[in-house]
Structure 1
């Protein structure tokens, strides 16, 4: 096994660990949108890991579908709505959470199975991820306003690098990386960092908003 293959496998393990760890943590905060999306990413990563080790096609198919889900809807829509709990006090009911996931999965089946979307699909992914990135910079601004400058910087860096991943994914292949192991290491490590950082940034902004609300009540 070459060193690049080893790094790809390790980055896959890291993705699974981060997804499971922080997915469960978000569930404990009763943010089911972020919690289950992070767990979906972890499940996708675990299937990719099994495929890399065994070349079982079923695991590749599962990972491929869930990757399409997260790139098209899971992160740009589901995760954004989850983060809006601390930026817009958006806290949907469990029924709405289920509906959001159901609609996103249904739309993903169209992305994966419909022939008419294959040509524009890479552009669709980039557009969706760009929208998510714009929201993350708004999220970063909210962190700055709350005095959480370190989290703001870490979030902005993660957002920028993740956008680079989205662009490289379909449009700028790395020279000599025919098996995409180098890209895989870069992408999975970036997503692992992003899932971890967003948990702590979310908590920091939630605490800041809570302190602000208590201060306002004391003034009144």
Structure 2
């Protein structure tokens, strides 16, 4: 086996590990949308590994469907809604969480199977990811506003690297990369990094939100104490 395939498997293992660990961490924070999307990535990457080890094409097809879900709605919609818990104080109900997932699956099936989506599908993926990148840029600004400069730099690196991967996927073929092993290796390392950094982005924004709430409560109680009797 060539060296690039060992690196390919290493990238896949990194993605499986990071998405699983940080997906579970997010579930423990009761963010079922964001944590669930990271576990979808775990499942996808696990099927990529099974395909690499067995050569069974079914596993790769399952991974491609999961990848379509993540690129079409999983990250651009579901993960964004999950992040809105710490950017806009928006926490949907369990019923709404289920509706987002079911709707996302329905959209993915249409994108994956409909004949009319064959030609526009790559552009659809790119537009959806670009909209997600705009939201990440907004997150970077919020991080800078609260003084989390290092985490903001990490998020910006994730934004640029993931947008680069999304922009060349389906549009540019790396010379000599006939089976896309090099591209998939880069993509999996980028996604693994993204799974890690956005957990810490989430935590930083969550802390800032709690500090703001405590400050507002303190101000309110202080105002009551100073109110003339």
TM-score category (smaller protein)? over 0.9
Partner of 1:116: 116
Partner of 1:61: 61
Structure 2 residue runs of 5 or longer lacking an equivalent are: 221-229
1:202 deviation in Å? Answer: 0.5
Matched length: 220
Counterparts of 1:79-158 in structure 2 under 5 Å? Answer: 79-158=79-158
Counterparts of 2:18 and 2:191 in 1: how far apart (Å)? 9
Measured on the aligned residues, the alpha-carbon RMSD in Å equals: 0.7
Aligned to 2:91, the other structure's residue is in SS state coil
Partner of 1:197: 197
1:184 deviation in Å? Answer: 1.0
Counterparts of 1:19 and 1:153 in 2: how far apart (Å)? 21
1:97 deviation in Å? Answer: 0.3
Counterparts of 2:151 and 2:161 in 1: how far apart (Å)? 15
Aligned to 2:133, the other structure's residue is in SS state helix
Counterparts of 1:209 and 1:176 in 2: how far apart (Å)? 48
Structure 1 residue runs of 5 or longer lacking an equivalent are: none
Counterparts of 1:156 and 1:213 in 2: how far apart (Å)? 27
Counterparts of 1:183 and 1:62 in 2: how far apart (Å)? 19
Aligned to 1:147, the other structure's residue is in SS state coil
Counterparts of 2:95 and 2:77 in 1: how far apart (Å)? 17
1:12 deviation in Å? Answer: 0.5
Partner of 2:24: 24
1:57 deviation in Å? Answer: 1.9
| TM-score with structure 2 setting the length | 0.95
Partner of 1:12: 12
Counterparts of 1:11 and 1:23 in 2: how far apart (Å)? 18
Which stretch has the larger CA shift, 133-142 or 169-178? 169-178
Partner of 2:223: none
Counterparts of 2:206 and 2:81 in 1: how far apart (Å)? 15
1:52 deviation in Å? Answer: 1.4
Counterparts of 1:61 and 1:5 in 2: how far apart (Å)? 19
Partner of 1:210: 210
Over 4 Å off, 4+ runs: none
Per-residue CA shift, 1:153-211, capped at 9, x if unaligned? 10011011100000111111111111111111110000000010000111011101111
Per-residue CA shift, 1:123-160, capped at 9, x if unaligned? 00000000000000001111111111111110011011
Aligned to 1:171, the other structure's residue is in SS state coil
1:14 deviation in Å? Answer: 0.7
> Does 2:18 correspond to 1:47?
no
